[in-house]
Every structure is written in C-alpha cells, then in structure tokens.
Amino acid sequence: MTSPKVNEIKLDIEELNRFLDQASRHRTKDILTLEIRRLQTELIKLSDENKTPITEKPNPTPVLSNKCYEVKLNNYAWDQSEKFIKIYVGLKNVQSLPKEAVYCNFTERSMDLHAMGLDSRNYLLPINNLCEEIIPEQSYTKVKTDSIVIFLAKKIPKNWSHVTGVEKRIKEAKTPAVPDVGESEDPSSSLMNLMKKFYEEGDDDMKRTIAKAWTESQDKKSSGMPSIPSL
C-alpha cells in the first residue's frame, strides 16, 4: 500500500513539472529542475525497499531496426554511499530487455546510458561534467523492475554536493536560495512556500509564469489544493 507521504511527494513532483513546462527563464528552469530531482531522490528512497531485483532470464534478441525512435532522458534521481554515486532512472518494462541492450559508457567525468529497442525506442541518458572524477572500470549498471541504477565509482571517497559541476555552480551562486523542503513535515505547505518565494523574489516575467501555471493547475484539480497566500 502506498504511504501518504509517497503520494504527497508524487503530487509535488507533478505540480513542479507543470511549473517547469510553463517557465521561460533559464534560471527558473534550473531551480525547478533541481527541486524535482531532489524530490525524485526522496521518492526513490521511500519506494526502493518495496522493489526486488529481477532475476536475469534468457530473453530473445530484440529487433533493433531503423524504425526505433531516439529518446533523450532528462529526469533522474540520485543517492550516494562512501564509494559510489547511484543514479536512478525510471523506465517502464526495461527489465524485459536482454542484458546486452542496456549498457553505459563511462569516462572520468561523464556517463552515457543506453537502453536499446524498448517499445521501438532507443533511450539515452548522457551526463557530462560530473561534479567529481569517477573510476570508469569500476562503474557499472544494474537493471531492476521498471528502473535502471547506475553505480559511479568515486575516485576519491568523499561526499558529492551535486551530480554535475553545473548544478554545483548554480547552488554556489545562491540565486535564489531554495528552502530545505525536506525538513518540512507538510510537503504541500513547503511547496507553497517555495512557489511564494519564487514569486516574491522574481521579476515580472517570473511572476506571470508562476501565476499562469498556478491558475492552470487549479483548473485541473477537482478538490482541495491550498492556495499560495498573498500572491
């Protein structure tokens, strides 16, 4: 049974994705994308214990034809241990592919995931300019139910603040500072505070974007979302 907290996080992610679709300013998109990834990481941590690894079974070789569409993935969650950065990629039915159809190329500062021939699509996830160096020959992938986990072996066993150098520079620039939603007991309230902060500190374009996205999201709901106070 899905817990209330998991449902709340899923709703927050959906809400932020609607704002991201409406955003036009690059800085606004970066901030929203970072918050979505943070919530996705929290969601993975809560739900991963309910997932069990798939026992590898022989599968027929997929038919990879010119009719396969190339799809570039953008969303992922991440976590870390002392030795590894773990990248979580949701991909429905990926476990149905044979082992050789899912692979990842590694360099000291990048990774390039491929999932080939899944429902007539070739899925790609390139991540360049990693925050720190990794050891390519010790990095690997693991396929689970509806997901792929990429293990990036840290060259130096220290804590990473972000996955990429770009994300690190955005955070260090502090423009604007994002509240720590993770400490809130009420995810919906924290999301409202986050949107209010963007609205109050943003320029006219950002305010119009948030107001438009908020109005459209309210029209799609049948009940009960709290409003942003004093917008």
Domain ranges of the chain: 4-48+176-220, 53-153
pLDDT interval class at 23 (50, 70, 90)? confident
The pLDDT score that the predictor gives to residue 65 is: 43
For residue 185, pLDDT beyond 90:
no
pLDDT class of 164 with cuts at 50, 70, 90: very high
Residue 117's nearest CA partner among 156, 44, 65 is 65
CA 96 to CA 58: how far, in whole Å? Answer: 10
Report the C-alpha gap between 114 and 67 in whole angstroms: 17
Interatomic CA distance for residues 188 and 59, integer angstroms:
43
Strand partners, 69: 121
Q: What is the pLDDT of residue 222?
A: 52
Contact 79, 132 (CB under 8 A): no
Cβ contact 18:217 at 8 Å:
yes
Span 76-95, mean pLDDT? 94
Q: How big is the CA angle at 18 (ends 46 and 197), to the nearest 5 degrees?
A: 85
Task: State pTM to two decimals.
Answer: 0.51
- The CB density around residue 215, as the number of other CB atoms within 10 Å, is 9
pLDDT at position 51 is 55
pLDDT of residue 56: 43
pLDDT at residue 169, rounded to an integer: 84
> Which one, of 155, 147, 61, 70, lies nearest residue 106 by Cα?
155
Counting residues of the chain whose pLDDT is more than 90, the rounded percentage is 39
* Structure-token pair, residue 187: 């995810």
Architecture of domain 53-153: Sandwich (2.60)
